[in-house]
Structure 1
Amino acid sequence: MKFNISFPETGQQKLIEIDDDMKVRNFYDRRMGQEIEGEVLGEEFKGYVFRIAGGNDKQGFPMKQGVLENRRVRLLLADGHSCYRPRRKGERKRKSIRGCIVSYDIAVLHLVIVQKGEQELPGLTDDPRPRRLGPKRANHIRKLFALSKEDDVRKYVVRRKIEREGKPAKSKAPKIQRLITEERLRRKTKEKKDKKEAWERAKTAKKNYLRLVNQVMYRKNHPDKASINDEVKQATA
């Protein structure tokens, strides 16, 4: 069985293959999300704790969280479900997926390191890989730099330097998403005002229409009284 081990703190991952059935057997009948001691894979993983994050069987069908089976099943999946990407709006499809319980049919198992052990793992914990891009959403930038709501987020955007041969160096910054500015507040206020005015106009138009319908129905059901009322109105005019 192959194990795809990742370490979120360094942003690295490594694929190893273990043919010893005695070591692999420790993962059987375990569910996604459960934690297991890394020592079962070898002495180099002593002190490590892994979390089972997923896997694929020998035919490439993925494991799905919440399906308490150790075999392959067919489920009706829709938008928002894992293991399925709809091509059209509202589309549903019955697809084959594997349950969340590990069995001997699993070819690749994904493990995430939740606790670091005693030894360094080359290519996994020894070489931190910093993220190329910084956060883009306003709340994420505030969380990264511990800012309050009164601080200006635009001053703390992580800029990326771009250097090209024969050209002057320049920096590039992403567009901040969900940034609350005075212009946005004015736009939201205008939208609410326009919506309220449209509701008032629709209410007035409905009231006038119902009055007109009542007049027409009254003249239709009482033609004599309607003609007398018209003569009285003409005489008083």
Structure 2
Amino acid sequence: MSAKTSFKIVISDPKTGKAEQVEVSGEQALRLIGHKIGDIIDGALVGKPGIKLRITGGSGRAGEPMRPDIQGARKGYFLLSGPPGYWPKEKGERRRRFVRGNTISEDIVQINAVIVYEEQAKASS
């Protein structure tokens, strides 16, 4: 693992519909390696303390998207029938497309995340 690892993290806010991009490098970036799509991480890892983030996807150096149904940090050609990575033109159409697995590795360039809000009823109880 190199110390020059860096990620661009796109943080989406579902309440406002806005997104912001944060660049993370060095020790903070190394802490993200190994997390998977669907994992909830602390916002302090990306410089946003006090919030929780759910990883929703990402893309590699060549622009290949991460797929939640492919395990591991591998990449390759997989037979796909729907997004992400392939949008069929006809019903039942399938194609082989180059995509990544669901685990963050050093080869990932962009990580997509969404802010997770806890229900107000649970917070006040």
Whole-angstrom distance in 2 between the partners of 1:2 and 1:82:
19
Unmatched 5+ residue regions in structure 1? Answer: 117-237
1:8 counterpart (14, 17, 25): 14
C-alpha RMSD of matched pairs (Å)? 1.6
The aligned counterpart of 2:72 is 69
Superposed CA offset, 1:132-161 (max 9, x none): xxxxxxxxxxxxxxxxxxxxxxxxxxxxxx
For 1:32, the aligned partner's letter is I
Q: Which runs of 4+ in 1 moved over 4 A?
A: none
Whole-angstrom distance in 2 between the partners of 1:26 and 1:111:
15
Q: TM-score, with normalisation over the residues of structure 1?
A: 0.45
Q: 1:115 to 1:88 in 2, by over 3 A?
A: closer
For residues 26-65 of structure 1, the aligned pairs below 5 Å read: 26-42=31-47, 45-65=48-68
More helix by percentage: 1
For 1:22, the aligned partner's letter is E
For 2:20, the aligned partner's letter is K
Measure how far apart 1:92 and its partner are: 1.7
Percent identity of the aligned residues? Answer: 34
Aligned length: 112
The aligned counterpart of 1:150 is none
The aligned counterpart of 2:89 is 87
Q: Which has the higher contact order (CA 8 A, sep 6+)?
A: 2
Q: TM-score, with normalisation over the residues of structure 2?
A: 0.82
